[in-house]
Homo-oligomer: A and B are copies of this chain.
Amino acid sequence: MMGSAMCMPLCDNGHEVRLVGTHLDREIIERVAQDRWHPTLKRTLPDRIVPIQVEELAEAVSGVDLIICGVSSFGVEWFAEHAAPLIPEGTPVLAVTKGLAEEENGNLIPFPHWWARRANRHISFNAIGGPCTSYELADRRHSHVHFCGGDLAVLQSLKAMLETEYYHVSLSTDVVGIETAVALKNAYALAVTLAVGQQQRAEGEGGQLAYNPQAALFGQSVREMTELVGLLGGRPESVTAGIADLYVTIFGGRTRRLGILLGQGLTFSQAMEELSGVTLESVAITTRIARAVRGKAAQGHWPLDSFPLLLHVDEVINKGAAVKIPWHKFTSLA
């Protein structure tokens, strides 16, 4: 969906776009080919795009200026195996994927670095972070994102290709900081929306919305995100892209629905049943980061008590715990 939404700034800037689906997107590509209607994005794509099925991927990536990778975090392995080998050297990649890869030693690294190690030849892997939902990008709403990558000159050329009067692009060479911050926002959006569900349980769905508890969880999320970005080697200012992304993620989508169901008192497996069992990015990243935090803490490297909110959500997801926000663990005395 986000990959398809990127057609808007690309076409508005006069580029020719080849929209290639994976094997999971066959019906979407068929429908787009028919009349440009994208059935999950629920928007009509620009006339000038060329919809392409996965069998023609090799031809599609040849002779292009830029490859945008639109897979979710569950597709990074597929992208490394089936797409990356086809990419001509010298053609930059810009990924919308949010998440972190786990190395065999338990270290977390951003996908651009993980792809680069897998590729075994020189390809410039870059990524987009920051608050931008696909629906609103497709509607050409003002959005401010960060492109991150190792080479500022490459980033500048990507900005020149993509920036429009509604799509605003900052650049950063802090790939670890930006990618960690925006990966974490999925975990913490789940955490903040627990308070929405708890409120609904206490007062009924028609009850007053409560913002003090949400804000307390938002503040705790910012503190934990800031510390995690620092521990992984990112710069403090990069956290802001994740904070803004957290803000936008709280207000919609399946992660919010899951958080509300858990806050209302459902167990994780009951909630997943309600959501038809589709695995969510927020669940995957919470599990992955909590595992890394516990591992590093066991080795004496990271302070376990800096992450009471993350670890509680992990217990709810992975140990069947009931939601019981550890409020008193959020206070500090300095």
Contact = CB atoms under 8 A, between A and B. Distances in A.
B212 A141 contact: yes
Contacts of A168: 216, 327-328, 330-331
- Bin the interface of chain A by size: 35 or more
Given A218-B247, A222-B240, A243-B243, A334 B213 contact: no
A334 B173 contact: yes
Number of copies: 2
Contacts of A244: 215-216, 218-219, 222
Contacts of A248: 211-212, 214-215
A14 interface: no
Contacts of A259: none
Contacts of A212: 131-133, 136-137, 141-143, 248
A209 interface: yes
B332 A170 contact: yes
A211 B247 contact: yes
Interface of A: 130-133, 136-137, 139, 141-144, 152, 156, 159, 168-173, 195, 209-216, 218-220, 222-223, 226, 236-237, 240-241, 243-245, 247-248, 251-252, 325, 327-328, 330-334
